[in-house]
């Protein structure tokens, strides 16, 4: 119950055409004061006065959204009276005109967004944009991957292993470094991840059983192998028929320093060479593409390759 005094104030608030029009618009969606000024073609002080009165009687609520304040019809006993007014007047010319103004506002917003993207289209890929990170993209795409038994061959910093664990039934992490595996186990325990098994071993001679995994991943690992062909043959051996391999590695380059400083055995691979390695290892439907170019010198290019173990 809102009481006699409250009812009187509520009725006075509703006894104004502009305030009724504001309520009608806010019943459609959240709007700012400037939005209402544009739709109703009224000044700021007038709109602000009406909004303050509507808030006072409990018909309107507001919330801060960045630098803007957005208004909406407030839930509560006071809205029952307003609902009746709306139902009886929804086809009035004033309300219909305001709906047309609201649609014009929406069109302008869409136009502003379109104009922005048209303006920056040529340089969009060079801009630093909020949320556009390779990790965020990878996590999103991984949600589309099938659940199954994954093996990560040569785990590096373990970040990909942890991401795979979010969608996999199980992940077996293989690395020649016991310290790398220990760091991964510690991070997994901190995050409460229970479906990662670590195995110390060489990716060219895997201590894993035949036909045991659905997906094998070699992310920036193949260029560390003495024999990439042997590493891929081992990946094929441990996959089930129809299992898939994913290789992420570097396009062939001439940066000799990576041999001594980063323990690279190979200076990347050409697309043709990587496709040949996959085919020779017994994979079908090999597909290789250039995925991304490092923006920092020496601008390494990343290749992404996939293949399927035959079912026959």
**Count of all residues that appear for the chain in the document:** 312
CB-CB contact of 199 with 174 (8 Å)? yes
The model scores a pTM over 0.75? no
Burial class (CB in 10 A: 0-12, 13-18, 19+), 209: exposed
Peptide bond into 37 cis (omega under 30): no
List Cβ<8 Å contacts ≥24 apart for 260-263.
Answer: 263/224
Per-residue pLDDT, 211: 95
Q: In what order do the strands lie in the sheet with 239-250?
A: 196-200, 170-175, 149-153, 213-219, 239-250, 301-308, 284-293
Q: Average pLDDT for residues 155-183, to the nearest whole number?
A: 90
Per-residue pLDDT, 131: 44
- Whether residue 108 has pLDDT greater than 80: yes
Report the candidate in 20, 10, 26 with the shortest Cα–Cα distance to residue 58: 10
Q: Average pLDDT for residues 236-259, to the nearest whole number?
A: 93
Lowest model confidence (mean pLDDT) among 7-16, 35-44, 104-113, 209-218: 7-16
Per-residue pLDDT, 252: 92
pLDDT band for 143, please (50, 70, 90 cuts): low
- Whether residue 226 has pLDDT greater than 60: yes
- Whether residue 132 has pLDDT greater than 60: no
The predicted-structure confidence for 280-298, as pLDDT tens digits, reads as follows 999 999 999 988 888 888 8
Give the rounded percent of residues in the chain with a pLDDT score beyond 70. 86
- Whether residue 312 has pLDDT greater than 60: yes
pLDDT band for 158, please (50, 70, 90 cuts): confident
């Amino acid at each position: 119950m809102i009481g006699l005094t409250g009812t009187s104030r509520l009725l006075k608030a509703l006894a104004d055409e502009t305030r009724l029009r504001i309520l009608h618009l806010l019943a459609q969606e959240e709007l700012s004061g400037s939005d209402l000024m544009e739709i109703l073609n009224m000044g700021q002080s007038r709109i602000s006065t009406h909004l303050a009165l509507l808030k006072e009687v409990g018909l309107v609520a507001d919330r801060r959204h960045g630098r803007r304040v957005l208004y909406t019809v407030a839930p509560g006993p006071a809205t029952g009276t307003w609902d009746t007014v709306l139902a009886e007047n929804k086809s009035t010319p004033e309300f219909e005109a305001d709906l047309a103004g609201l649609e014009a506002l929406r069109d302008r917003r869409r136009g502003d967004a379109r104009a922005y993207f048209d303006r920056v289209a040529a340089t969009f890929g060079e801009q630093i944009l909020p949320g556009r990170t390779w990790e965020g993209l990878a996590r999103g795409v991984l949600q589309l991957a099938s659940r199954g038994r994954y093996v990560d061959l040569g785990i590096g910093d373990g970040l990909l292993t942890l991401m795979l664990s979010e969608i996999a039934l199980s992940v077996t992490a293989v690395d020649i470094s016991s310290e790398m595996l220990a760091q991964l186990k510690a991070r997994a325990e901190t995050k409460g991840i229970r479906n990662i098994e670590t195995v110390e071993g060489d990716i060219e001679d895997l201590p894993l059983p035949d036909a045991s995994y659905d997906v094998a991943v070699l992310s920036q690992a193949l260029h560390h192998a003495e024999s990439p062909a042997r590493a891929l043959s081992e990946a094929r051996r441990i996959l089930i028929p129809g299992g898939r391999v994913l290789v992420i590695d570097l396009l062939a380059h001439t940066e000799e320093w990576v041999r001594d400083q980063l323990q690279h055995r190979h200076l990347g691979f050409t697309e043709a060479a990587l496709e040949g390695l996959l085919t020779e290892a017994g994979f079908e439907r090999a597909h290789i593409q250039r995925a991304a170019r490092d923006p920092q010198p020496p601008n390494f290019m990343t290749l992404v390759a996939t293949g399927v173990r035959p079912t026959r």
